[in-house]
Amino acid sequence: MEELNLFVKSIFIDNMIFAYFLGMCSYLAVSKNVKTAFGLGLAVTFMLVVTLPLNYMLNTYVLQPGALAWLGDSFKEVDLSFLGLIMFIAVIASATQLVEMAVEKFSPSLYASLGIFLPLIAVNCAILGGALFMQQKDFGSALTATVYGAGSGIGWLLAIVGLAAIREKIAYSNIPAPLKGVGITFIITGLMGIAFMSFLGIKL
């Protein structure tokens, strides 16, 4: 039940885009049509689900103060938490590389549809942000971390597909020239964010 609550919360309330603005760059750049937006959203969700449990293990068994106790008594005092950032980004970059190779081998059609987005995910702040929030929220198990990853990813997917759909519709609208492109996209995202705030306080 707690997992379900976290899942719903991370999709609607703590939405990566509307509450924390993570992954904004690709969100703005790749939301011109629904199909590619959906592909990128899937890729981000997938990477969050893969990397969050990995980073969770890393954090729990290597980085946290006292996490190295399983190596023996003399390691009980070791605190490697200052290495967190660099380890997380290394895990994310290498996982991206591995996933890219695996997808290319086993499902060329998916690989073709994701195209350049897969490698770019290494520098998508939503993924690193997920890892850092996971560290901050202090989850109880790797499963909880995975659920959080899935929820955040789906929330991101929802946001980018919604924005892409709206942008396809407004392509023919009469917008003041200085607002064309980025400006109006910002305003739409802001309004979507206000709409998403109505989910605040949902509890299961």
Query: Residue 72 or 178: which CB sits closer to other proteins?
Result: 178
CB of 172 to other proteins, least distance (A): 14
- Please report, as residue ranges, which positions from 30 to 69 form the binding site for other proteins (by CB under 8 A): none
How far is it, in rounded angstroms, from Cα 122 to Cα 103?
A: 15
Residue 187 in contact with other proteins, rule: CB under 8 A: yes
Q: Which span (40-48, 55-63, 87-95, 160-168) binds other proteins, by CB under 8 A?
A: 87-95
Report the amino acid identity of residue 1.
M
Q: Which span (45-53, 107-115, 144-152, 189-197) binds other proteins, by CB under 8 A?
A: 189-197
Report the amino acid identity of residue 81.
S
Residue 132 in contact with other proteins, rule: CB under 8 A: yes
Location of structure tokens 């939503």: 126
Question: How many positions of this chain bind other proteins (CB under 8 A)?
Answer: 46
Residue 199 in contact with other proteins, rule: CB under 8 A: no
148, 10 Cβ separation under 8 angstroms: yes
How far is it, in rounded angstroms, from Cα 69 to Cα 107?
A: 41
> Which pairs from 194-197 meet CB under 8 Å and 24+ separation?
196/12, 196/15, 196/18, 196/19, 197/18
How far is it, in rounded angstroms, from Cα 21 to Cα 159?
A: 11
Chain centre distance of CA 9: 14
Residue 166 in contact with other proteins, rule: CB under 8 A: no
Residue 6 in contact with other proteins, rule: CB under 8 A: no
By the criterion CB under 8 A, which residues form the site for other proteins?
Answer: 18-25, 28-29, 82-86, 89-90, 93, 122-125, 127-129, 132-133, 136, 176-184, 186-187, 189-194, 197
